Amino acid sequence: MENKRIQNLTSVVFLLALFALVIFLEQVIKPTDTMAMLLTVTKKSAVYALVAVSMNLLNGFTGLFSLGQAGFMLMGAYTYAIFTIESERRDSVYYYFDQVVNVSLPETLGGALGSVGWLVGVLLAIILGGLVAAGVAYLIGFPVLRLKSDYLAIATLGFAEIIRAIFQWRMLGPVTNAANPLKSYVRLSDFKIGTGDAAINISTFVAVLLAVVCIGIIVMLINSSYGRAFKAIREDEVAAEAMGINLYKHKQIAFCISSFFAGVGGAMLAMFANTVQANNFKSNMTFEILLIVVLGGIGSVSGSCIAAVFFIFASEWWLRGLDSGRFLGIFAPGIFRNGFRLVIFSVGIMLVILFFRRGLMGDKELPYYVKWIKDKLTTQKPKAGEANG
Amino acid sequence: MVLFNTTLPYLLSGISVGGQYALIAIGYTMVYGILRLINFAHADVFMVSALCMVYAVTTFQIPLYIAIPLVVALTVLLGFAIERVAYRPLRSAPRMSVMVSAIAVSYTLQNLALYITGGLNKNYPSIPWLSDSITVLEATTKRVTVVTPFLTIALVVILVMFIQRTKIGTAMRAVAKDFETSRLMGIKVDSVISMTFIIGSFLAGIGSMLFFTNYPGVIPTAGAMPGMKAFVAAVFGGIGSIPGAVLGGFVIGICESLIKGLDTILVNTGLLQSPLELATFSDAFTFVLLILILVFKPTGLLGEKIADKV
């Protein structure tokens, strides 16, 4: 009990320190600095961490191999964007269509309640995005969750493609703007305290905060009795059922919750990316997230978070030089040209998958390793005789 | 008559695309039958094969009669190498790790293609006899459209005979039936698996030539969609069954092509006043078929029933 309290306290302190660091960096780094990239990749990794954890909930903790993530993210992103587009710019966004949805939640609530209302409106839109994704997941769950392993994977992948096609359908243009991008909605960069030049930018903080809150909820779920039921299903379906766990119900719960957070992640990706277009949510996006989950360790939340940060930092920032001619001081524009970064990157992933099959963390969490290192440092190695006895 | 005239071109191209899907689907179905692995990299082998052809003909100016066998050989080599490097070390690992490895290979091949092509659309060289225009029952099309189904059927007949009559074919069937027992019986499982990948890649190489002759160009993600569809074809026909994969390939090719033309067909026959843009769903419909078959007949049309072991 005491141990648990110390652990919780440590996490809270760690998170507060993280928030403080993010806020501090955001004030110090100017948009023109070379370090400004740090803020961009932090935002993106927050989004990917959330989506990876939501996928891990399904693939790692419940043992349901689902590849529908991109589809649920797409729904979250679209729902969010549609309900937050500025009413003045609606006509220019829906240039080819007569838009049907004419509500902008942040504006409506902001008009009534000021900036608090605006914030509530944005949050509502994000949650709505998650709910739409969860609702669709609920419906998809009926046929799909009866399938096993690979078949489930391929069926969910298929559903993601169907969803993408539906959102691009011209007949739905008045709602989704068909294949054209949605823009002019509330973005991360709109989060500021104050106005004009003196405004304090808090966009990175908002992204990190949202991700942390959502991941926290998922962790609480995993530690609850539902989480234990999920793990039981992962270990052995037949045994779990024999122990009185309703398989279908629990799979459905895991699927809907995972999709909800994928939807929220999609909404955050929309906030990050400034435009939303169905064509960006292809199966490759799901595969990237799956690779993050595998790299971090299937069944480890902190592993997914760390892997997401590494994945995004490496692919978007650290290895940039491989694309633009100069890397680690070596200048070779003939080899280091566009795309080389991704080649190196994917070969690296390949090596991890072949030689470090359990990923970064296996199925353990960060505190386990902290404790492990501490034990190594404080206790001396037992003598050979003792170890055998 | 109006119905027939408007439908015919779509039907023709559907049969042709179906034949190409069938050739790719065989690679999926054979590998799945033996390793229980969705070989996601197969689609990219198909794409790389097309790129090899582009570079062999346009960049290196190799004459076609050498280039075609060379490209097929390279494709086979690639398929063989992928199995050796990415799947064999994971033979005893859980199935999910192997599948993730397949996804990683696919990711690597796509990124490599992106690097080499610079992300540009590469025009596929026209193969003289195949890309000539011909007229079938008043519908103009390329000769490849007509050749594909016959070539597919011929190759499949040879393959089925190979599997039924030869020693290695028998070994393949044995391994597909029971991995462990066939190893105990003295079958060299690893070489059987290599053979499976060789055959699958060979057919994918032929399929890619037929497919891209009818297609504007090659991009790094060009393999993804045909690959997914071919896999669905394999599931639809019953995974592990070669005739099933062929049947599935044709069904999916024809459905896809008809949906592409559904607006035109419906408007021309007067059933519809204005087009509904249903062509958007030509890709998605494949997955609708997939889900329907998985729900109502999970073993596919011609698949065998596998009992669940606890």
d(CA B244, CA B257): 20
Contact: A294, B288; criterion CB under 8 Å: no
In-domain check, residue B301:
no
pLDDT of B308 over the 60 cut = no
The average pLDDT across A232-238 equals 89
Contact: A338, B118; criterion CB under 8 Å: yes
In-domain check, residue B304:
no
User: Strand, coil or helix: what is B139?
Assistant: strand
Which residue range(s) make up the domain with B244? 2-296
- CA of A169: which chain B residue's CA is closest? B280
Chain B residues touching A151 at Cβ < 8 A? 235, 294, 298
In CATH, what number is assigned to the domain containing residue B202? 1.10.3470
Chain A residues touching B100 at Cβ < 8 A? 290-291, 294, 353
pLDDT value of residue A125: 92
pLDDT value of residue A389: 38
d(CA A84, CA A105): 6
Are B83 and B193 contacting, i.e. CB atoms less than 8 angstroms apart?
A: yes
d(CA B234, CA A310): 37
- CA of A293: which chain B residue's CA is closest? B100
d(CA A283, CA A161): 8
In-domain check, residue B261:
yes
pLDDT value of residue A314: 84
In-domain check, residue B58:
yes
Q: Give the pTM.
A: 0.87
pLDDT of A382 over the 60 cut = no
For the segment A32-84, what is each residue's pLDDT rounded down to a tens digit?
777 778 888 888 999 999 999 999 999 889 988 888 899 999 999 999 998 88
The average pLDDT across A164-178 equals 83
Q: How far is B15 from chain A (nearest CA, A)?
A: 23
Whole-number Cα distances in Å, B292 to A155, A159, B167, B236, B298: 10, 12, 37, 9, 9
Percent of chain B with pLDDT strictly greater than 70: 97
Q: What is the ipTM of this complex?
A: 0.83
In-domain check, residue B130:
yes
Pairing assessment for the beta strands A192-193 and A200-201 based on DSSP bridges: antiparallel
d(CA A70, CA A356): 26
pLDDT value of residue A198: 66
**How high does pLDDT run on average in chain A?**
83
d(CA B307, CA B46): 33
Contact: B111, A287; criterion CB under 8 Å: no
Q: How many domains does chain B have?
A: 1
Are B213 and B127 contacting, i.e. CB atoms less than 8 angstroms apart?
A: yes
